[in-house]
Structure 1
Amino acid sequence: MKTVRIAGVPEHFNHPWQLAIDRGGFKAVDLNLAWTAVPEGTGKMCQMLRDGTTDFAVILTEGIIKDIALGNPCSIVQEYVSSPLLWGIHVAANSPLQSCGELEGKTVAISRPGSGSHLMALVYAKQQNWKAAPVLKVVNTLEGAVTALTEAQADYFMWERFMTQPLVDQGVFKRLGECPTPWPSFVIVGRNAYMEQHPEVVAQLLKTINATTQEFKQLPNIDATLASEFQQKTADIQQWLQLTQWSQQPLSAESFEAVQQELLALNLISKPLTYHQAVKS
């Protein structure tokens, strides 16, 4: 049985992986799937792919395309979540800031450079036509953002709005607005060196996870299960399930190009890739 290392954020999007592990789906295709939860997010997973401490990752589309363009030797093997990621824009509950228009030039907490919280802060600033760029404060994790905002080390923080809902309910954060990604949110990516050595693994991996995501929304009491695991209200999970669409398809050339053009416009990459340089066919 071949051990395959894969990394992803410990969020509801990735519950299908744990479900497939628990059901023995990967063992049925002779894979021992070793899952690593990475609360630091995309920037940390890009580093793990680069240094070979994971073989695959479930990662934000814009973050990995940026890192592949900057030399990360890996490839996108499939779209994972085709729906946009809905980023909440948060300030501390006691912050005097009352609207997103007041955030121009302010300090934004980010998990790390190259993370989704970093890239989407820049995307949002561009969408708002702000002249003053946000100041960046690295906080590593959601818990670090709580500290940074409550201690006034940063002014605002962007994170997936349903995962931050408990903090809003508890009066830790105040949500000023939302910003959906203009592209599919998550992809599955693998290290090129690993996939060249084990070409059969990709098909086995995708076959198992795709079978799980196809039926995921129809599972009995899945809303209650997720609400319990992620300390969410069932009504919020039900809304999230309605908005979220898992994918079993390749990332399209159109989606790839939409992300790349945004990265070029933000000067986050300087040289464009071809579709086949980033996406495994």
Structure 2
Amino acid sequence: MGFRIGFVPEHFSTPIHFAQKHYGLDAELVPFPSGTGHMITALRAGEIDVGIGLTEGWVAGLGKAQEAGEEDGGYRLVGTYVETPLCWAISTGADRPEIQSVDSLQGGKIGVSRIGSGSYVMGYVLADERGWLVPTAAVGTAKEQASPYSDTVVLNTFEKLRGAVNSGEADFFMWEHFTSKRYYDNGEIRKVGEIYTPWSSWKIVASTRLLSAESPQDTSRIDDLLDKLNLGIRHFNEHTEEAVQYISTQLDYSEADAREWLKTVRFPERTQGVDPQVVDSTVEILCKAGVLAVGGGVNAPAMIEKTR
């Protein structure tokens, strides 16, 4: 029986589709349009076996579990899916004249898909970059970090996030640039800025149930899964027209945007393993941004099952 793989049904998922279509990837692909935070919940509940999602979401989830004294965060990092950083577009409502720049968002209401998701974590990275964070000394410990926003509105889906910035329920949200662009082009939302992740953007995780010493056959199946993804990525790189066709007909993108995105993304030749330095630097930035606590018991090496 194949794995249940959680993935985000966006343009980045194209090599996964190719691995299944052309190379016999034996898996049930389970879409999570609400993103990495939702996949963490599903992994811990035993609803999926593997997740392909955003670096910051996975690392924040494991860091929070370690801070809470949980030995098993429910999953560990086994592979690297995208080498390039992610461009997060910062969006507000179409008719919000009071919001003209990123600086006008300080102290505003941020919309996020879930607490702990990439859209949540990047709100703190943005605040850190802009100098909006209250120094932790002023509020005691890092765990008591004052939020740079007046409210964090959890909205689950991209569609609800777009609705919330137009209704005024939220002032802004962050989502991947090309996924947002169609809604700039049709006038539904407006772009006020963008921010890049300071790390390579996508990682592959496996449930700790699969990684337990009692099931070596599951470990070899994970290796086989990663090999199939390597083939899907190679196919993606060698068949760009097929990729554009798939993205522009099966997913929510125009052909022009699909071509433009292809110029910006780089997948690894080998998905196996994670660079410990990437995880270390992600933890460091998440601590600086107040997502994780400095000295809160976060153990970056323990997050990694397979190193590069």
Paired residue secondary structure (2:96): coil
CA RMSD of aligned residues (A): 1.4
Equivalent residue for 1:207?
227
1:258-277 mapped onto 2 (5 Å cutoff): 258-269=281-292, 270-275=296-301, 277=302
CA distance in 2, matches of 1:91, 1:264: 27
More deviation, 265-274/111-120? 265-274
Unaligned regions of 5+ residues in structure 1, if any? 27-31
CA distance in 2, matches of 1:117, 1:166: 18
Q: Is the 8 A contact 2:18 2:235 kept in 1?
A: no
1:164-179 mapped onto 2 (5 Å cutoff): 164-179=180-195
2:294 is the alignment partner of 1:278: no
Unaligned regions of 5+ residues in structure 2, if any? 66-72, 134-146
**Which amino acid in the other structure matches residue 235 of structure 2?**
E
The Cα shift of 1:239 comes to 1.7
Q: 216, 233, 257: which is aligned to 2:236?
A: 216
The Cα shift of 1:220 comes to 4.8
2:85 is the alignment partner of 1:84: yes
Q: Is the 8 A contact 1:264 1:272 kept in 2?
A: no
CA distance in 2, matches of 1:38, 1:274: 26
The Cα shift of 1:33 comes to 0.2
CA distance in 2, matches of 1:258, 1:108: 25
CA distance in 1, matches of 2:83, 2:57: 15
Deviations 1:49-94 (A, max 9, x none): 1111110000111111111123313111111001001000000111
Structure 2-normalised TM-score?
Answer: 0.85
Equivalent residue for 1:44?
38
The Cα shift of 1:261 comes to 0.5
The Cα shift of 1:225 comes to 2.8
**Which amino acid in the other structure matches residue 299 of structure 2?**
L
Equivalent residue for 1:74?
75
Equivalent residue for 2:70?
none
**Which amino acid in the other structure matches residue 239 of structure 2?**
L
CA distance in 1, matches of 2:221, 2:205: 13
Equivalent residue for 2:167?
151
CA distance in 2, matches of 1:279, 1:220: 32
**Which amino acid in the other structure matches residue 263 of structure 1?**
L
The Cα shift of 1:122 comes to 0.9
Equivalent residue for 1:62?
56
Paired residue secondary structure (1:19): helix
Q: What number of residue pairs does the alignment pair up?
A: 274
Q: 237, 242, 246: which is aligned to 2:267?
A: 246
Structure 1-normalised TM-score?
Answer: 0.93
**Which amino acid in the other structure matches residue 219 of structure 1?**
H
Equivalent residue for 1:184?
200
